[in-house]
Amino acid sequence: MKRSHILMLLGIALTAPAVSHAQLAGSTLVAVSVAEMRDITLGWSAKRQILGQAVYNDSNERVGSVDDIIVSGDKAVSYAIVNAGGFLAVAKHDVAVPVSAFKLTNDKLVLPGATRDALKAAPEFEYAN
């Protein structure tokens, strides 16, 4: 008798996690958990804090602006696409810059050692078709 109770409790314990995450047939989980949401809210928003933001060098000179971010196959943000051309998009010159090169200083995106001329001399980034 005791053995059957233990087996029944073990069966319930093993199936409980599956039941709590059960989905309807043909459905896909598309949202995040509450714990993941806490991590997400502490992260950066590409739309609010990165895209369109000015990029400065360590001399506080504006050298470009962030037009896009590239997410690599391993789901990591790997490059920022910086427009080093004109500020009115008249002479656009996009350059891929590793995100590890940026620093956040006084709420500004800083690319230490960068100059507008150095970025314009870098190979132009073009999207693959």
Q: What is the per-residue pLDDT for 2?
A: 46
Q: Clarify whether residues 84 and 22 are in a common domain.
A: no
Q: Clarify whether residues 53 and 115 are in a common domain.
A: yes
Residue 13 lies in a domain: yes
> The pTM is what?
0.65
Q: Clarify whether residues 67 and 107 are in a common domain.
A: yes
Q: Clarify whether residues 35 and 55 are in a common domain.
A: no
- Parallel, antiparallel or unpaired: strands 62-71 and 54-56: antiparallel
How many structural domains compose the chain?
A: 2
Q: What is the per-residue pLDDT for 123?
A: 94
Residue 129 lies in a domain: no
User: Where in the sequence is the domain holding 21, given as residue range(s)?
Assistant: 2-40
DSSP structure class, residue 88: T
Q: Clarify whether residues 59 and 88 are in a common domain.
A: yes
Q: Clarify whether residues 61 and 103 are in a common domain.
A: yes
Residue 113 lies in a domain: yes
Residue 111 lies in a domain: yes
Residue 126 lies in a domain: no
DSSP structure class, residue 60: S
Please report where in the chains the tokens 């409790």 appear, as a residue.
9
Q: Clarify whether residues 51 and 27 are in a common domain.
A: no
User: What is the C-alpha separation between 88 and 11, in angstroms, rounded?
Assistant: 65
Q: Each residue's pLDDT tens digit in the chain (129 positions)?
A: 444 444 343 343 444 444 444 445 555 667 778 778 877 777 767 777 788 999 999 999 999 999 999 988 888 888 999 999 865 556 789 999 998 999 988 889 999 999 999 999 999 999 887
Q: Clarify whether residues 7 and 53 are in a common domain.
A: no
